[in-house]
Amino acid sequence: GNSVTQMEGPVTLSEEAFLTINCTYTATGYPSLFWYVQYPGEGLQLLLKATKADDKGSNKGFEATYRKETTSFHLEKGSVQVSDSAVYFCALRSNAGGTSYGKLTFGQGTILTVHP
Amino acid sequence: EAGVAQSPRYKIIEKRQSVAFWCNPISGHATLYWYQQILGQGPKLLIQFQNNGVVDDSQLPKDRFSAERLKGVDSTLKIQPAKLEDSAVYLCASSLDGTAAGYTFGSGTRLTVV
């Protein structure tokens, strides 16, 4: 079945540091890939997405590239801010059809804390 | 546009009691999902509705969990009887047709079973 593996956390960085959160996946076919963010006390929000190989999703300074050869979708940001402190989830949606079309499979989440 | 509404925000119950959660999706969204998010884990799909029909409930513990979506709009998720391991955040999400690139999630209901 489909699965998503994220790097172990938590991750603690100083403001303006470079961020990488690793994400690898296992899926049949060609899934769509997503990063969601969950700020304290809030619901899940879509951060960025990529729907096919070599696509780069970007939003709010965050980027991730869909790498089919390495089945990866690592999240990066060149200079983090205190306001980026949140939990980040990598997820995939199978495009293989069938009754579970649209179902999201999530990784376990990575807690990011950014200090001033 | 209004988001996905969920209530209550928090609920504390004793084990073996029953509890119900309510979700109002975005108007016009045909697909509705209930996810369970246990602390330290990513959300896991419990059930998926397309309009008022169930598309996928393979991960729903049917001996204690039930869900319905009357008239293809609001949905309720019920647990009866609750167990300690049911402590989690229950997230509702909706999408226009399930093929959209992303969903809209509600803020969730945090359930604590003591």
Q: What is the pLDDT of residues B52-81, one digit of tens each?
A: 899 899 999 999 999 999 888 999 999 999
> Are residues A43 and B40, on separate chains, in Cβ contact within 8 Å?
no
Q: What is the pLDDT of residues A8-25, one digit of tens each?
A: 789 999 999 999 999 999
A31 touches chain B (CB under 8 A): no
First to last CA, chain B: 37
Q: A-chain residues within 8 Å CB-CB of B48?
A: 100, 102-103
Residue A73: pLDDT band with limits 50, 70, 90: very high
> Are residues B105 and A44, on separate chains, in Cβ contact within 8 Å?
yes
Mean per-residue pLDDT over chain A, rounded: 92
Question: With 90 as the cut, is the pLDDT of residue B84 above it?
Answer: yes
Residue with tokens 């089945």, as numbered in its chain: A71
Per-residue pLDDT at B40: 87
> Are residues B41 and A44, on separate chains, in Cβ contact within 8 Å?
no
Q: Give phi and psi for B85, each to the nearest 5.
A: -75, -5
Per-residue pLDDT at B32: 93
Q: Distance (Å, rounded) from C-alpha A83 to C-alpha A42?
A: 14
Chain B residue with minimum CA distance to A6: B42
Long-range residue pairs from B81-85, CB within 8 A, at least 24 positions apart, any chain: B81/B15, B81/B16, B81/B17, B81/B18, B82/B13, B82/B14, B82/B15, B82/B16, B82/B17, B82/B18, B82/B19, B82/B111, B82/B113, B83/B15, B83/B113, B84/B15, B84/B113, B84/B114, B85/B113
Q: What angle do CA A88, A90, A93 make, to 5 degrees?
A: 145
Per-residue pLDDT at A96: 66
Question: With 70 as the cut, is the pLDDT of residue A7 above it?
Answer: yes
Q: A-chain residues within 8 Å CB-CB of B105?
A: 43-45
